[in-house]
Structure 1
Amino acid sequence: MLLKKSHLERALDRDELVPHFQPYFEMKTGRVVGFEALIRWQHPSGELILPDQFIPLAERSGLITPLTRNLLRHVMAAAVDLPDHLHYSVNVSPLQLRDDTLPQMFEAAASAAQFPLQRMTVEITESALIDNLDRAASIAADLKSLGLQLAVDDFGTGYSSLKHLQALPFDVIKVDQSFVRCMVERRESRKIVSAVLGLGQTLGLRTVAEGVETPDQERMLQWLGCDVGQGWLFGRPMPVNYLGVFLERIEITPPLMSGAGALSTSEEFRLDNSASRRLAHLQALYDAAPVGLCFLDREMRLTSVNKRLAQMMGTSAISFVGRDIDEAMPQIAAELKPSIQCALEGECIGDLEVPLARIGVSEQAGTALVSFQPAHDEANEVVGVSISFIDITERKRAQNALHESEDHYRHTVELNPQVNWTCDPEGRHLTANHRWEALTGLSPEQSSG
């Protein structure tokens, strides 16, 4: 269908441009927290025309401002009949980040509808910031002063720049659906999603993933600490008259996140803490551990060593980072590598004993028990191996002392000229010396039990 300016003007006059609402779900709880208002053209022919077919026309023809004003009127009117805790987001055109009257448009629409702007987020694509960042920052500051929140939309596509995140007072960062949709199958996409979420968490921004379509994607995003999900898995865009029924159904039967219900305690720990705080917690645990710990990547390079292992090795932890196992532990590398390879293939190994003197530079007597644990990423792929070194010297001494004591007792019994024998409380024969056989004609083994 060839669309013209006159068609769009008529559609505005006839109120054919209406919002459809796609729900946002909180990843941790499965609770609906709001909707994104996506404009649709309900054409008289019955066709539902998507925005990519008419937004460029509206921008070229100067109709983008009345179109946005109409959208705000519809969204704020719909919100009146919905629960107060719900939040709404709307997109603005890159052209509108050059229009000084944009904040007044939001203010006027909110005043007419008696709608609190604290419940609305303005989504801005990074392309809107390219031409005149200073002017966009000024308009964004005016929007923030009204109580609106700001989201950077489709982060990671085309124009991504940390300068934009620094220049504008964003509250939300949205991961583009092109990465989310293939993150389960493609390692590169997973790492991009993880990096964007980590950046948002570090900057204190709320993170939203678009295009969530499968439980595997959802579970992976939960694991990475994403705050909010949006996509067909949770709900497709719907007209305003469907919202009440949708919310009632969700209230009665809330979705089970990933088909598995509530998150475990360890998962809640991950979601409740920012990336930097989690890292600080884990580093403190790592360094305070009474056992030597290190991590090797798939190329058998050491990426981290804790303080205890550094002490056992007689050097600083940082001196080993980046070195391969042959260079870092030349005396035991050949002994460790078969177990490391097994761990890289997913097997846990926990029974290797090595002399302490071969681990460090000192001639310390004793023994270490070495264990190998494969480390998996969010897609359950092995990305490295965690190795622990436990000093079992005292335990080995106790075992040796016990064996020596048992041998001494046995020799004492066997060399005693008298007939010595022992039994348990039920009278069952346990041990006897050599004179027992001479007296009874039965060997100690025949008499046992």
Structure 2
Amino acid sequence: MNRHFKIGETTISVLPYFQPIVSMKSDQIIGYEVLSRFFDSGKILDTKISIDRFEDQKLLDGLLIFLLEYTFRQRLKFDPNLFFSFNLSPSQISDACILDDILSLISLYEFPHERIKIEITESVIISDLALCTKFMTELNATGISFVMDDFGTGYSSLTILSSLPFSGVKIDQKFVHSCVSRKEDRKIISAIVGLANSLDIDVIAEGIETVEQADLLRKIGCTKGQGYLFSPPRPLKRIGNPNSNPAVHTENEYQRLSIEERAFQISSLYNSKEVAICFIDRDYIIRDASMTFCRRIGFDKKEVIGADIHVLLPDARTMLECLKSFRERGLPYPPYRFTRESGDIDLVMLTQVRDESEEILGYSIISLEIFSKTINGIMAQKRLNVW
């Protein structure tokens, strides 16, 4: 479920995204930060720029209420032990109505106060310390807790941290990103962890992207983490079964591929003589295809790009209709055996390609030859049967 906001002549659609916060000891999900993703006509917009526009138009309160309400409505889909974090800006703290709005919404949905965390930056506190103290004290008295976000980048007053009802701090991701290579940043993280321990509050490292960073943070003593190593922010329907509260898998033996490495990986697939690959849009028009794909269907690449796949491969209609029935039932597409005119058999796998707003852009088709009438192909089929 997304919601539309009017900004000038533009209608911006907002979709809630959830990024897990995990225990660094067990990799178990312990909570989610609830974030916004902004779209205009299906195209994702820059998050920071969109937040600034919402603030200029005094729409941040409406945005927060939408995120809270969405989360509360979906509560039964989540493990009851998970918490949810929401972000507040300086302008919202100074809004006298937002506190009542938050409490009213919690009461309406009977959502447990202790499962709510509010993340605020030091700039929020410094903008009006007295007002911020009142705001935090009143909400904290109901069971809602507060986390200081981007800790280490601003004033970082020990007095502020110890005098206000904070239950945790988030180490700014710029220190996390360089902690492996920069000794100075490791010292800063160690100091923050030591300070948090002395105040008996949680410390969360955000922006963790590699196994090396996670291992180092564990050694320093950081017990909670968040970042792309564990999971990027995702809409609710793409985070598996949140009610099962599974451990995330970080594949400790390997780092995540860089964008360049992924590009080379895709390029190698397109150049492979063993794998045929193509991309078709929602209207079944072939937008791109490898030379192996073109060779297997017996057409020149110039004839393939821009053609309707049903025209080039009349038998593909049966396959696509079969797979469509799986999509309508919410089931993953199974591999499909496709027999070519030559009598050779391919194993075809089709995957939906979606954008950030979850709209289907088209389908990626990967085909592997599993039977050929040539001697080599027969031997390959025998080897396949053995495995």
- TM-score computed with the length of structure 2 as normaliser: 0.61
Amino acid at match of 1:234: F
Q: CA deviation at 1:246?
A: 6.3
Residue 157 of structure 1 aligns to a residue whose secondary structure is coil
Question: Which structure 1 segments of 5+ residues have no match?
Answer: 261-449
Determine the C-alpha separation between the residues in 2 that align with 1:244 and 1:7.
Answer: 37
1:147 corresponds to: 143
Q: CA deviation at 1:20?
A: 0.4
Which of these residues, 238, 241, 249, is aligned with residue 255 of structure 1?
A: 249
Measured against aligned partners, the alpha-carbon deviations of 1:186-221 in whole angstroms (never above 9, x if no partner) come to 111111111111111111011100000111110111
Determine the C-alpha separation between the residues in 1 that align with 2:101 and 2:242.
Answer: 30
Is residue 77 of structure 1 aligned with residue 99 of structure 2? no
8 A contact 1:18–1:74 mirrored in 2? no
Determine the C-alpha separation between the residues in 2 that align with 1:201 and 1:174.
Answer: 13
Q: CA deviation at 1:129?
A: 1.1
1:33 corresponds to: 30
Q: Following superposition of structure 1 onto structure 2, how do residues 252-401 of structure 1 map, counting pairs within 5 Å?
A: 254-255=248-249, 258=252
Residue 38 of structure 1 aligns to a residue whose secondary structure is strand
Is residue 96 of structure 1 aligned with residue 103 of structure 2? no
Amino acid at match of 1:196: I
Measured against aligned partners, the alpha-carbon deviations of 1:390-432 in whole angstroms (never above 9, x if no partner) come to xxxxxxxxxxxxxxxxxxxxxxxxxxxxxxxxxxxxxxxxxxx
Residue 74 of structure 2 aligns to a residue whose secondary structure is helix
1:212 corresponds to: 208
1:442 corresponds to: none
8 A contact 1:120–1:149 mirrored in 2? yes
2:101 corresponds to: 105
2:53 corresponds to: 57
Amino acid at match of 1:31: Q
8 A contact 1:91–1:124 mirrored in 2? yes
Structure showing greater Rg? 1
Alignment CA distance shift 1:227-1:192 (3 Å): same
Q: How many residues are paired up?
A: 250
Amino acid at match of 2:211: P
1:190 corresponds to: 186
Q: CA deviation at 1:103?
A: 2.2
Is residue 159 of structure 1 aligned with residue 161 of structure 2? no
Question: Which structure 2 segments of 5+ residues have no match?
Answer: 255-387
Q: CA deviation at 1:59?
A: 1.5
Alignment CA distance shift 1:132-1:246 (3 Å): closer
Alignment CA distance shift 1:208-1:182 (3 Å): same
Amino acid at match of 1:175: I
8 A contact 1:219–1:258 mirrored in 2? no
8 A contact 1:88–1:120 mirrored in 2? yes
Determine the C-alpha separation between the residues in 2 that align with 1:7 and 1:228.
Answer: 42
| Structure 1 stretches of 4+ moved >6 Å | none
8 A contact 1:4–1:57 mirrored in 2? no
Measured against aligned partners, the alpha-carbon deviations of 1:39-66 in whole angstroms (never above 9, x if no partner) come to 11133x2212243011112222221211
Determine the C-alpha separation between the residues in 1 that align with 2:65 and 2:9.
Answer: 18
Query: Once superposed, what is the RMSD of the aligned Cα atoms?
Result: 2.2
8 A contact 1:17–1:71 mirrored in 2? no
Amino acid at match of 2:167: D
Amino acid at match of 1:191: K
Measured against aligned partners, the alpha-carbon deviations of 1:82-119 in whole angstroms (never above 9, x if no partner) come to 11011110001111122232221221121222211210
Residue 198 of structure 2 aligns to a residue whose secondary structure is helix
2:82 corresponds to: 86
- TM-score computed with the length of structure 1 as normaliser: 0.53
Measured against aligned partners, the alpha-carbon deviations of 1:289-322 in whole angstroms (never above 9, x if no partner) come to xxxxxxxxxxxxxxxxxxxxxxxxxxxxxxxxxx
